[in-house]
Amino acid sequence: MSYLAKNYNRKKISFKYGKGSYLYSSDNKRYLDFVQGIAVNSLGHAHPKLVKTINIQSKKLWHVSNAFMIPEGEKLAKKLCQKTFANYVIFQNSGTEATEAAIKVARRYFYSVGKPKKNRILCIKNSFHGRTLAAINASGSKKMMEGFGPKISGFDHFVFGDHKSLKKNITKNTAAIMVETIMGEGGIKIIPDWCLRGLRKLCNKKKILLILDEVQCGISRTGDFFAFEKSKVKPDIVPIAKGIGGGFPLGAVLMNKKVAKGMIPGTHGSTFGGNPLAMAVGNTVMDIVTNKKFLNNINDLSKYFFTELIIIKDKYPELIKDIRGRGFLIGIQLYKHQNIFIKELMNKKLLTIRASENVIRILPPLNVKRSELSQALKIIDSVCKKLN
Ligand SMILES: *Cc1c(COP(=O)(O)O)cnc(C)c1O
């Protein structure tokens, strides 16, 4: 029997080790891992540079309190700010902490300028911002909130893609609009660049802050460091996590100078957040995933993968409804049979993961090889053939 609580519906498989795009199971089988811990292992398993970084740093210093200066964190924060819209960073350990911190930064800003009532956060109904109490209330998902009442006030919701619903739900007390640039758990739904620009304009007009949750879609996953980059929009606050740690728990909230003013000493903290071990790993990931050649390679290979996926979709129009996403954040939307499809892929040694709306999420490591992508395409095609 297992002493782990039953909150997960786990597949009956475990792994001994991983290397690059592959996982090796306890029963000695090799799987092509296109889950990668849900977009966490941005450089695949056991990347030599990350192994080296951990080795070196683990012999020097793991953890000190944020009561002291942490040079490794100064370095990573500088890299993040020089690469993006941000002027300041607070480090956390996970995505949900990062989104919570984003909410705190937004509220504290309006508090600090004498508008404490401007504290409501407007989110997309059935979005995903994590599993803490505030985050499930932000997500507005009945399923995630069920049994975890009382409902936490201070969150409003609008319907994805419904501009009327968005405008209707803005009040004089709205502090921020928080959305995922690309909804991950929600089914790889992209907010188009022109909508992001419209959202920014609307926020400016109503004096509302814009929070773009890039926990899943950020850190070069889409072929740009942030998924919103091509839109040229500058958000006020951006929570990140997943990919930045390359498998080591690491989150952060990035913010501009204006909103950072509210975060005076004592307003927020984290015991583990930003410790030297996490920062060392983050620095190494950052150096690799922001390299121009690395990004170009993601874009080239992703183009190839999408082109081939669309060919498969055209072959099986009654099975596949949509192919969507950007870079290596990829969704195959089926008409039905989502779980059977995932199981069949797994039987053929390709690991993928579900998302809402019958979507199968495909999240290769960002340094995946072309041959591994073509291997996955062959498997996907053969499963389509079988289930068609
Ligand atoms: C995964 C995710 C989170 C939560 O991250 P955790 O590390 O699981 O707490 C928040 N927002 C988005 C968009 C995510 O995909």
Ligand 1 close to Cβ of residue 40 (< 6 A) = no
Indicate whether 81 and 107 sit together in one domain.
yes
Ligand 1 close to Cβ of residue 244 (< 6 A) = no
Indicate whether 177 and 222 sit together in one domain.
yes
Does residue 214 belong to any structural domain of this protein?
yes
Can you read off the two tokens belonging to residue 359? 């979507």
Tell which of 241, 262, 289 closes a domain.
289
Indicate whether 104 and 163 sit together in one domain.
yes
Indicate whether 26 and 175 sit together in one domain.
no
Of 367, 353, 361, 350, the closest CA to residue 326 belongs to 361
What's the first-to-final CA gap in the chain, in angstroms?
Answer: 38
Ligand 1 close to Cβ of residue 96 (< 6 A) = yes
Ligand 1 close to Cβ of residue 95 (< 6 A) = yes
Ligand 1 close to Cβ of residue 241 (< 6 A) = yes
Indicate whether 85 and 208 sit together in one domain.
yes
Q: Which atom of ligand 1 is nearest to the CA of 95?
A: 5
Indicate whether 339 and 258 sit together in one domain.
no
Can you read off the two tokens belonging to residue 8? 């997960």
Indicate whether 33 and 150 sit together in one domain.
no
Does residue 84 belong to any structural domain of this protein?
yes
Check which CATH number belongs to the domain holding 23 and give it.
Answer: 3.90.1150.10
Ligand 1 binding pocket mutation candidate from 42, 91, 93, 99 (most atoms within 8 A of CB): 99
Does residue 200 belong to any structural domain of this protein?
yes
Ligand 1 close to Cβ of residue 181 (< 6 A) = no
Indicate whether 117 and 256 sit together in one domain.
yes
Ligand 1 close to Cβ of residue 215 (< 6 A) = yes
Does residue 370 belong to any structural domain of this protein?
yes
Q: Which atom of ligand 1 is nearest to the CA of 127?
A: 13
Ligand 1 close to Cβ of residue 213 (< 6 A) = yes
Ligand 1 close to Cβ of residue 99 (< 6 A) = yes
Q: How many Å lie between the centroid of ligand 1 and the Cα of residue 176?
A: 19
Does residue 170 belong to any structural domain of this protein?
yes
Indicate whether 317 and 252 sit together in one domain.
no
Q: Which atom of ligand 1 is nearest to the CA of 38?
A: 1
Does residue 9 belong to any structural domain of this protein?
no
The region that residue 326 occupies, defined by phi over 0 for left and psi between -120 and 50 for alpha, beta otherwise, is: beta
Ligand 1 close to Cβ of residue 248 (< 6 A) = no
Q: Which atom of ligand 1 is nearest to the CA of 135?
A: 10
Ligand 1 close to Cβ of residue 130 (< 6 A) = yes
Check which CATH number belongs to the domain holding 90 and give it.
Answer: 3.40.640.10
Tell which of 254, 289, 324 closes a domain.
289
One pLDDT digit (tens) per residue for the chain, 388 residues: 899 999 999 999 999 999 999 999 999 999 999 999 999 999 999 999 999 999 999 999 999 999 999 999 999 999 999 999 999 999 999 999 999 999 999 999 999 999 999 999 999 999 999 999 999 999 999 999 999 999 999 999 999 999 999 999 999 999 999 999 999 999 999 999 999 999 999 999 999 999 999 999 999 999 999 999 999 999 999 999 999 999 999 999 999 999 999 999 999 999 999 999 999 999 999 999 999 999 999 999 999 999 999 999 999 999 999 999 999 999 999 999 899 999 999 999 999 999 999 999 999 999 999 999 999 999 999 999 999 9
Neighbouring CB atoms inside 10 A of 265's CB total: 6
Residue nearest to atom 6 of ligand 1 (CA): 95
Indicate whether 335 and 364 sit together in one domain.
yes
Neighbouring CB atoms inside 10 A of 34's CB total: 25
Does residue 378 belong to any structural domain of this protein?
yes
pLDDT at 337: 86
Residue 55, C-beta contacts closer than 8 angstroms, at least 6 positions apart: none
Task: From residue 232, give the alpha-carbon distance in Å to each of 107, 222, 346.
Answer: 25, 15, 39
Ligand 1 close to Cβ of residue 216 (< 6 A) = yes
Q: How many Å lie between the centroid of ligand 1 and the Cα of residue 3?
A: 25
Tell which of 267, 289, 311 closes a domain.
289
Indicate whether 320 and 227 sit together in one domain.
no
Q: Which atom of ligand 1 is nearest to the CA of 180?
A: 13
Does residue 2 belong to any structural domain of this protein?
no
Q: How many domains does the chain have?
A: 2
Q: How many Å lie between the centroid of ligand 1 and the Cα of residue 97?
A: 9
Indicate whether 229 and 162 sit together in one domain.
yes
Question: Domain residues for 249?
Answer: 50-289
Q: Which atom of ligand 1 is nearest to the CA of 96?
A: 9
Give the type of residue at 312. I
Q: How many Å lie between the centroid of ligand 1 and the Cα of residue 128?
A: 7
